[in-house]
Structure 1
Amino acid sequence: MYHAVGHRPAKAAYGLSVSPDAFAEQMELLGERGFTPLTTAQLGAAWRSGGGLPLPRRPVLITFDDGYEGVHRHALPVLAKHGFASTLFAATGWLQGPYDEGGALGTMLDWDQVRELAAAGMEIGGHTHTHPQLDQLDDSRLRYETVRCRDIVADELGAAPVSFAYPYGYSSRRVRRAVRAAGFAQSLAVGNALALPRQGPYALRRVTVRRGTGIEEFEQLIVGRSIARIFAKDRALTKGYALVRRARWAGGLLGGVRG
């Protein structure tokens, strides 16, 4: 899971960014180790086929959340060099253009660039419209965020997106139902673990690549070693915050806030 790719990203996006040189080195390592990148749609279709669509020996997803401009400027040439597939999950209200509602944490793609990414073979998935915490929304706003995003991508690219990623990784059973109802066939969380079929198509996990992820740590991540140790603090914080979020949601229901 990548976000911004750039030399000097905005401060708010810095921690979850990678430098262009680091990204190039990481992609080089994937090639050297014999990995075959897929789109999220290809992985979902293969797992739903029950073996009818076999996966390559070492499949991997390369995903980008939000829609930062550096994906086009820096990541695309590297991906093209290796012939790697990937998926961009676009927050449509953050991208530059007629739907921009502000709130983006850095310089974002415009729709011409998104179309160029799609033409180059990158899958364009949904990431909501305004990048909210979906599990804290009422049902009406939850539907708006998923459907509005889907419709804008369909209008701009000529085909509805089939893959989705939850902003911040936050979801719940209710959120997953809404994503499915909006027409998405699979969705990615975070979880900082390898994706497995048993997680179900709407809760597939990913590992986070950060500014501080060195090449040795990156290699451990892609081969599935030391993930629990590397993300031990993240997982502890996530479990604790999940309890807070459920309590917050329940409090809203009791107070008559939710729709």
Structure 2
Amino acid sequence: MRALITNDDGVSSRGIAVLTRVALAAGLDVVVAAPHEERSGASAALSGLEDGGRLRSTRTAVDDLDVDAFAVHASPALIAFVASRGAFGPRPDVVLSGINHGPNTGSAVLHSGTVGAALTAVTHGIPGLAVSLAGSPGRAQADPRDDPRVGTDASGRSWDTAADVAARALRWFLDHLDPSHVVNVNVPAVSPAELRGMRSARLATFGAVQAEIGDRDDEFVTVRFDEIHTENDDDSDASLVAHGWATVTALRPPTAVTVDTSELVDTPD
């Protein structure tokens, strides 16, 4: 089974290397194609094509792993889109997006380039899995707002946790392939010993960050994004991740709903 691995943090990000190792350990035939630089917040934007429809791409390496890898001057969604048409070799059977640096929880998944790549895949009939690691992986978390129940990440062991959860999620994902939805997984930034387990979760009504508007005049507006620290004890993805659980949420791509438009539309002759 052939897997395309991408994300919105860039082809040289640690999350790409971790997810690639997980996919290879699962026996997948892997090709990596990810943005040449960070494209966070790209959502499902199809950006990157130059004049004449050219897409810039350079062969690169992912650590010491024996995989084809490409640094692409494009958004992750466009990468998934063109991959479905054979841009990086045979059409992939699955798209694995991540491991993202930072959570993709709540309604803010709408803006995630990592989730956007997986959503683009499923709209083209390719099952998609997105994995994200919350917190500040690899750095000590001295912020007193951090939930003390889930400990700290001074040793960077959260990447071990992310790899373990990704491997578990990938096994389930491959046994239940379904291109009708994205499997969205979020991992707390804790050591493997501190992980409380894995739970299904609904989307929180908010995302991982909120926007604050500062100074403004006729030429600019200052926008600051602050991380939201939830203390709610509910079954939302944001709350469960904050309390040390890995979460899994199925996301449906855009779809039409039935609304009574009889007063708006014209009646056929």
Scaled by the length of structure 1, what TM-score is found?
0.33
- Structure with the largest fraction of helix: 1
User: Which of these two proteins has the greater Rg computed from alpha carbons?
Assistant: 2
- Structure with the largest fraction of strand: 2
